[in-house]
Each structure stands twice: as C-alpha cells, then as structure tokens.
Chain A
Amino acid sequence: MKCVRTTLKGWREIPEGGTITEPGSSVNFDVTAWRTSSPLIDQNKCTKCGLCFLYCPDSAIEIDVDGNYHVNLSYCKGCGICAKECAPKAITMVKEGH
C-alpha cells in the first residue's frame, strides 16, 4: 500500500472517534490531499520576478532568506496558475501518485 501523505497521522494515532483533543490543531491540518499535481520550480531558470507569489490563490509560494521561491505543499492545491503565469517558464507541474 502506497501512502502519499506519510506526514499525516495513521488510524492508530488519531484520537478515538476523530475527537480533537488540543486547541489550534488546524495548523496540522493537511488541506491538499486531493492535489493531482504539484509545481516544481527550476531555480536555475527562475528570475525571482515574484509573479507566482502574486498569483497563487492559496499563498503557497514562500520566499526564503536568500530570495528564492519555494512551494509550501501543505497549502498548494496544484491548480497550476503559477506554472501558467511564470514568465521564464521555470515551473513545471509534476503529477502526484505516479
């Protein structure tokens, strides 16, 4: 059995009956498991223009201290807008679960 979301808790670890036992647990909530493909940024082609950051409807593009752009897969739904808008064509969509 292939599990594509190994970071999520298994059935033995989830509190009985799906009870939420601690506050603020929504930060651990994966809202992207239905994503069918994810963006892959080619850092050599990227010009750091920031279009992907601006267009992403889920604020899933993050900028690190060096000014490089990365995809936060905990939020990315795989819509492909970033790849579509990327001026230097540095983003390719890679299919999930293959």
Chain B
Amino acid sequence: MNKKVGISGNYAVAYAVKMADVDMIAAYPITPQTTIVEKLSEFVANGELDASYMNVESEHSAISACIGASLTGARVFTATSSQGLALMHEILFMASALRTPIVMANVNRALSAPLNIWNDHSDAMAQRDSGWIQLWARSAQESFDDTIEAFKIAEETRLPVMVNLDGYIVSHMYEPVELPDEEDVRKFIPSRPLENRVSIKNAHAVGVVGPPEYYYEMKYQAIDAIERSRHKVKEIENDFNRRFGKNYREIEAYGMEDAEAALILMGSIFGSAKEIANDLRGKGRKVGVVSLRVFRPFPAQELREALDGVKAVGVVDRATTPGGSGNPLYTEIATALYGMPERPAIQGFVAGLGGRDMREDDFRLMYSATEKAAREGAGRCIYVGLRE
C-alpha cells in the first residue's frame, strides 16, 4: 500500500534509490546534494540496502567508479551538484559513449566564481552536450518519481540519466511524498543482471582508442541512441503513469488552451509561474506557461504542438551563455520553433541566478514583457531583477 511521508527532495531521491535496489553507490559530498548520499550511507550501514558504498576522493572518481561498476552489469547511482558536476565533465561524455546506464541526481547549484551554493541551472546546462538524458523534477514527489523512472530509462536505452532538482527549493524542502509499494517499484524496474561487459568469460576491451577511421561512427552511435530514446522515454513515462497513477509528460502546460503569451521554463519555478498565470488569467489576460520535464532528448515536436497559435513566448533561463547568441534554453527553443510556419516572437529572460529569489513581481514583469513581445516583437534579453 502507498505510504505518505514528509521528506525533503534529497531524501525522496535516496528513498527511490533504495527502492531501486542499487548494487553500488559512489559518493562524494557536495552542498546541496550531500544529504542524498548521507541518507544512502545510513540505509547501507543499517542493512536496509544491500549495496556496495564506495567513498571516493572526488566527483571525478565517483563517476569513473560508476562507469567501472556499470560495465560489470551492476545498477549504480551517484549524486552531485555544481562544481562536482563540472569536475565530472570529461567522464560524463565517456559514460554516454560507453553506454553505461548510470543514474545520477544533480542538485542544481550555481557555478563559481563567486563561490555560491545556491540554486540556478548553470551546472546542468554546462553539461548539455555530454550525451546524458536530462530529467527535471519540480518537487520532492517528482524527484522520487523521476529517479525511479530514470533507472528504467537508463537500462532500456543503455544511456546515463541525470535527474535534476533545484538546490534547496526542492532538495531541502520537506513535502508530503507518496511512496509506492516497494514490490510495485521492483516490478517496474526488476533487479535483473545487466550484461557484464568485463567478465573473464566474456572478455571485452572497453574504452578503446577511436582514431579518425572509427571515432565518427562510434560518436554517431551515442547520437543515434539518444535520438532513439525519445520514444522510449515517452513509453516508460506512460507505463509509470499507468502503474503509479501519475500524469507525467515531457512538457507540462498550464493555460495553454487559449494563451497568446506563454513563459517556458524548467524546474521548481513552474509553481510560481502557474500561480501568477492563474491570477492574470482571472483578470482576462491570455497568458500560459510551459514547463519542460525532459531537456535531453529535447522535446521539440511536443513544444511546437503546445505553442501552436501562441503569439509570443518568454524563455526563462536560469543559466547564461556569455557571448552567445542566446542563453541555453533560449537557443534550444529558438531552434525548435524556427521552422514553425507562424513562429511566435521569442523574448529571452535571465532570472534567479545564484539563488536570487524570484518573486511574484518578477513573474508579472516577464508575463507583461512577453505580452509586449506579442504586440511589438521581441526585444533584447531582459536580466530580471539585476541592479543597475
């Protein structure tokens, strides 16, 4: 029977990892992720989870150990944030190219400098080309659900999956979370031995040199894998919804049935954006909001369908691409919408960097600026709340 508990987003991830019955956890503490691996160490120490718990000397080693363990066919997990994810950078590309189904929770935190432990999306956005599937949770419940889904997606596509949750706002907020029966979770993700690619009986050489004659083809395999993962993600999400009574989609929309101006965003700010949209809609303004739950593979087709008939979209970036033609989410959206016959105006926003609070007024400003873009066309990127 389902059980409702009051836990933080980080604990929700830890409970999901425990229910997924992982074989190996490589851990290195970093704020605000630490309480995930802390809770998992408790589970392992008191015998609730039969897993090998490996304390490593850095995040670089954590992800490397995960690749090694994953190659033996083990179900593995690690978690990190910000600088830790950045330190993993070079190994992340190997995890996807070597097709190791690792699940990692990334508790989103700003990148230095200046040193900042608070929430934005610059860590994950800096890894968008690493070939990992990226899920974006917006609550403790979603952190739990996405982590469970992530194991299935990873193992069926043989690609690593990053579950993103906003630092503090999701990771440390205590919320009621419905935990399903462990038995039902096990049925959804059975503990089956994956192929052991490094056993003596079935000896393979992994991590080989790929000279110009082979690199291109090998790289394309990883590109093809994540392209093909699109339908797998959808299928697994539908299966999850059916089994656990949820209604998750790659993108979630609010007020989009008649919206003329819509915000597009990721992560926990969806709640605030919905509240303000609701308020403005009550006053007769045709605004809506779209939230992306999956960033890789990018749900371009679903987005075009959701935005059909919209006059302007406002893209809320919580990361920057200094010197680029637009910030990370903006450029993805602009590329996705470019081919639409009646393309909406696209207004860029940067907001909530380094944990800067996003208040009601910030959302009202963004809705108004997007409505203005619908009338007059989009202007330059607006840095919301920046002091002059």
Asked whether A19 and B221 contact (CB < 8 A) given A5-B213, A33-B212, the answer is: no
Q: In whole Å, how far is B202's beta carbon from the nearest beta carbon of chain A?
A: 9
CB neighbours of B211 from chain A (8 A)? 31, 33
Within 8 A of A (CB), among B57-113: 97-99
CB neighbours of B218 from chain A (8 A)? 11, 14, 17-18
B214 and A14: CB pair below 8 A?
Answer: yes
CB neighbours of B213 from chain A (8 A)? 5, 8, 29-31, 33
Within 8 A of B (CB), among A11-54: 11, 14-21, 23, 29-31, 33-34
Asked whether A17 and B224 contact (CB < 8 A) given A5-B213, A33-B213, A34-B212, the answer is: no
Q: Is A98 an interface position by the 8 A CB rule?
A: no
Q: Is B208 an interface position by the 8 A CB rule?
A: yes
CB neighbours of A19 from chain B (8 A)? 98, 197, 204-206, 208
Binary interface profile of B, 197-220, with partner A (CB < 8 Å = 1, else 0)? 100000111101011111001101
Q: Is B158 an interface position by the 8 A CB rule?
A: yes
Distance, CA A63 to CA B213, complexed state (A): 27
Within 8 A of A (CB), among B318-354: none
Q: From DSSP, what is the main secondary structure of chain A's interface residues?
A: loop
Asked whether A18 and B220 contact (CB < 8 A) given A33-B213, A34-B212, the answer is: no
CB neighbours of B222 from chain A (8 A)? 17
Q: Is A67 an interface position by the 8 A CB rule?
A: no
Q: In whole Å, how far is A87's beta carbon from the nearest beta carbon of chain B?
A: 34
Q: In whole Å, how far is A1's beta carbon from the nearest beta carbon of chain B?
A: 12
Q: Is A9 an interface position by the 8 A CB rule?
A: yes
B204 and A18: CB pair below 8 A?
Answer: no
Give A20's nearest chain B residue, CB to CB: B205
A17 and B221: CB pair below 8 A?
Answer: yes
Q: In whole Å, how far is B127's beta carbon from the nearest beta carbon of chain A?
A: 19
Distance, CA A17 to CA B97, complexed state (A): 5
CB neighbours of A17 from chain B (8 A)? 97-99, 206, 218, 221-222
A18 and B210: CB pair below 8 A?
Answer: yes
**How many positions in chain A have a CB within 8 Å of any CB in the partner chain?**
19
CB neighbours of B217 from chain A (8 A)? 9-11, 14
Within 8 A of A (CB), among B211-245: 211-214, 217-218, 220-222, 224
CB neighbours of A9 from chain B (8 A)? 217
The winner among B203, B210, B213, B224 for most chain A CB atoms within 10 A is B213
Within 8 A of A (CB), among B269-309: none
Asked whether A20 and B204 contact (CB < 8 A) given A30-B213, A34-B212, the answer is: yes
Which of A18, A21, A23 lies in contact with B214, CB distance below 8 A? A18
CB neighbours of B221 from chain A (8 A)? 11, 14, 16-18
CB neighbours of B208 from chain A (8 A)? 18-20
CB neighbours of B206 from chain A (8 A)? 17, 19-20
Distance, CA A15 to CA B214, complexed state (A): 11
Distance, CA A14 to CA B97, complexed state (A): 13
A16 and B205: CB pair below 8 A?
Answer: no
Q: In whole Å, how far is B373's beta carbon from the nearest beta carbon of chain A?
A: 41
Q: In whole Å, how far is A22's beta carbon from the nearest beta carbon of chain B?
A: 9
Distance, CA A14 to CA B212, complexed state (A): 14
The winner among B205, B212, B224 for most chain A CB atoms within 10 A is B205
Q: In whole Å, how far is B371's beta carbon from the nearest beta carbon of chain A?
A: 47
CB neighbours of B214 from chain A (8 A)? 8, 14, 18
CB neighbours of B97 from chain A (8 A)? 17-18
CB neighbours of B99 from chain A (8 A)? 16-17
Q: In whole Å, how far is A71's beta carbon from the nearest beta carbon of chain B?
A: 18
CB neighbours of A31 from chain B (8 A)? 211, 213
Distance, CA A18 to CA B205, complexed state (A): 9
Q: In whole Å, how far is B223's beta carbon from the nearest beta carbon of chain A?
A: 9
Distance, CA A10 to CA B205, complexed state (A): 19
A-B contact pairs, 11 of them (CB 8 A): A11-B218, A16-B221, A17-B98, A17-B206, A17-B218, A17-B222, A18-B97, A19-B98, A19-B204, A20-B205, A33-B213
Residues of A within 8 A of B (CB): 5, 8-11, 14-21, 23, 29-31, 33-34
Residues of B within 8 A of A (CB): 97-99, 158, 197, 203-206, 208, 210-214, 217-218, 220-222, 224
Q: With A8-B214, A30-B213 given, name 5 new contacts (CB 8 A).
A: A11-B217, A17-B98, A20-B206, A29-B213, A33-B211
3 A-B pairs with least C-beta separation? A20-B205, A11-B217, A33-B213
